Amino acid sequence: MGAEQLKGLLGAAVMALGLAASPLSADDWAGSGDDWGGDWEDESESRFPFRVGGFIEAAGGMHLYDNKAVDDRIGKNYNLGETRLRLDIDGDWQALGYSLKVDGVADGVDEELRAELREALVSFELGDRTDVRAGRQVLTWGTGDLLFINDLFPKDWQSFLIGRDEDYLKGPSDALRITRYGDEVTLDLVWTPVFNRDNYPDGDRLSYWGQTGGNEFGLTAEPISDNAREPGSFPGDGEVALRLATRQSGVEYALYGYRGFWPQPNDARKTLAGGKLEHPVLHVYGASLRRGMGPGLFNAEVGYYDSRDYDNAGFNAALTPNSEVRILMGYDWELVTNLNVGVQYYLEWTLDHDELEKAFQDMGMKEMAGEEYRQLLTTRLTYTQMRGDLMWSLFAFVSPSDDDFYLRPSVRYRVSDELTVSAGGNLFGGKEDYSFFGQFEKDSNVYLRARYRF
């Protein structure tokens, strides 16, 4: 140690002399560190035993078209108008980590003040190889970009479609996550004691294609959730999601399993007798891979949606969801410097489509059966300027089978470390009013957001 120190001092002294004599390095910039001397962020210097951060964000948006259905329901021609205060608190207490993320929202659309608890979790290690997170948390896995096959954690489609930050597409789960890191294989097990549904378009901000009264169909803003029953009993109505992941010679492989419910209420059998929509039982088995290929990354994912409550008797074939096979493939690369391109192909293959079609035909609505193979192409173009401070982005969903599209142009400017301003749109269109994206044509909107971080 003594020798080390001596040598260090000696070396430093020699070098200091050498450097002082060098016209190349004796520039005074290297001394400028003193200007920001105390500026290192040190955990230990914090006034609290935990860290506090967050942001305040103002967001506003407007419809591009008259949307009579939503106007009639909420009396507004915009679906985003809010100020959001986010507080992030995290810290450690002995071997326990904790994190709390809460949003206070002053919402001009709902005309209310509300608190949204986005995260409230404790985390700890179990032995050398196992991490546990318990509580409210945002969970994500799978390889798709804004397309999800094996990720059945709750999505907030409403936030996504009206122009909130893309992070809000992922809703929180109240869950227990256990991750075991083996030598070769990582195992994730997520148990959600009581089912968490998606926040789907529900008429209060977005209209959709549905029953407008009696047996008429059209654009409507009727609340679906009021007329739906969610699985809510403990522990029978829980969800379990599993992932096994490994990486072999640069290729990432994963297997997935899910036991729970369809995230949106699509069992309409009881509605004929005046009952409610239900979330039928769903099991999903899937796999994915991701690897470098040529100048970019290739990913592929597949899932078998085993719709356990599917009932092929008569009209029920149209009133309960069929089983499906879902496949996606994607490629992501930098086309030219600072321009990134991602393309994806996605396929939803409805099994027993003949039964579905026949049931709809018997109901006199053959076209509502949709295509047996629903196909979707997506592209994500991202162009950055000013070292990333200015980012242009266009995400496009186009479905050749449904003849519809959804475009998400946006631009984001990072004014400073604190202030970011974003603008963009959600533009929908399609040949038919009842197709997946076509039904939201009248919901097309543009938005503006400013976020100040602290």
Tokens linked to 419: 């202030």
Shortest distance (Å) from residue 278 CB to other proteins: 29
CB of 102 to other proteins, least distance (A): 14
Pick 243 or 279: Cβ nearer other proteins: 243
CB of 47 or CB of 387, closer to other proteins: 387
Considering beta carbons, is residue 87 or 351 the nearer one to other proteins?
Answer: 87
Least separation, in Å, of the C-beta of 261 and other proteins? 22
Output 2 or 214, the one with its CB closest to other proteins: 2
> What is the closest distance, in whole angstroms, from the C-beta atom of residue 242 to other proteins in the complex?
16
Q: How many CB atoms lie within 10 A of CB 38?
A: 7
DSSP single-letter state for residue 156: B
Instruction: Output the six-digit token pair for 156.
Output: 């907030």
Q: Which is nearer to other proteins, 279 or 412 (CB)?
A: 412
Which of these, 126, 134, 82, lies nearest to 106 by C-alpha position? 82
CB of 287 to other proteins, least distance (A): 17
User: Which residues fall within 8 angstroms of residue 128, CB to CB, at 6 or more apart?
Assistant: none
Closer by beta carbon to other proteins, 205 or else 380: 380
Q: Choose between 86 and 374: whose C-beta lies nearer to other proteins.
A: 86
- Is the CB of 139 or the CB of 162 nearer to other proteins? 139
Q: Give the shortest CB-10-to-other proteins separation in angstroms.
A: 6
Please report the DSSP string for 262-315 in residue order: -SS--B-GGGGGT--EE--EEEEEEEEEEEEETTEEEEEEEEEEEETT---STT
Strands 277-278 and 228-229: parallel
Q: Helices (H) and strands (E) in the chain — how many of each?
A: 5, 22
Residues that bind other proteins (CB under 8 A): 3-4, 7-8, 10-12, 14-15, 18-19, 21-22, 24-25, 27, 29-30, 32-33, 36, 39-41, 53-55, 88, 123, 125, 131, 137-140, 167, 170, 179, 181, 186, 245, 250, 252, 290, 292, 295-297, 332-334, 337-338, 340, 386-389, 414, 416-418, 420, 453-454
Q: How many residues does the chain have?
A: 454
| Contact predicate 446/428, CB 8 Å | no
- Whichever of 14 and 113 has its CB closer to other proteins, that residue is 14
In whole angstroms, how close is the CB of 274 to other proteins at the nearest point?
Answer: 41
Q: Please report how close the Cβ of residue 75 comes to other proteins at its closest, in angstroms.
A: 33
Q: Are 403 and 439 in contact (CB under 8 A)?
A: no
DSSP letter assigned to residue 269 = G
Other Cβ atoms closer than 10 A to 233? 9
Please calculate the CA angle 177-179-183 and round it to the nearest 5 degrees: 175
Q: Output the smallest distance, CB 62 to other proteins, in A.
A: 27
Q: Which residues contact 217 (CB under 8 A, 6 or more apart)?
A: 209, 210, 211, 365, 368, 434
One DSSP character per residue, 39-71 reads GS--GGG-SSSEEEEEEEEEEEEEESS--HHHH
Both ends of the chain: CA-CA distance in Å?
A: 44
Q: Are 177 and 188 in contact (CB under 8 A)?
A: yes
